Amino acid sequence: MNHTFHPLTQDQAEQIAFEWRYEGEYAFYNMDADEEDLASFLDAKERGDTTFAILNDDELIGFVTLHFESVETVSIGLGMRPDLTGSGNGHRFLASILTWIEATYGTRTVRLAVATFNKRAIRLYRSLDFIPEETFVQETNGGVYSFLSMKRLQKPPPNI
């Protein structure tokens, strides 16, 4: 099994938006839960060159979107295919994203935001050295929800 990263194609964006269905409280993450987010995700110009498909042996298993705050800091949004969630796949999935970001961009700080109800994801992020920063509320998906921002300092390069 080998994760590779490629610019997200329109077909992949549509597959994620219309075929990936999360169950229960995680339906919050279905792309069509927010019309504006859906429109942005499906618009190739808005996605630009910052949204990447994550493939495992040529099979689409997830995506990551990068928003560079500076040369040293990037905020990420990510998603893993619904049938792979809740089964212990998250650690390897996120670790591969972090390794790829550091190797590709040399970024030192990675930030993300997670809905506070998503204790499973928060545990995963903590296990990979993300630390909580602050909670905030945001209007999305037809309501107002609480989010937790977290950050991770990548490992510094060894002294040579």
Indicate the helix (H) or strand (E) that contains 76.
strand 73-80
Q: Say if 158 falls within a structural domain.
A: no
33-72 pLDDT, tens digit per residue, is: 889 999 999 999 999 999 999 999 999 999 999 999 998 9
Sign of CA dihedral 9, 73, 75, 157: positive
How many domains does one find in the chain? 1
Domain that holds residue 41: 3-153
Q: Say if 159 falls within a structural domain.
A: no
Mean model confidence pLDDT for the chain: 93
pTM above 0.85, yes or no: yes
Q: Is 40 helix (H, G, I), strand (E, B) or coil?
A: helix
Q: Say if 125 falls within a structural domain.
A: yes
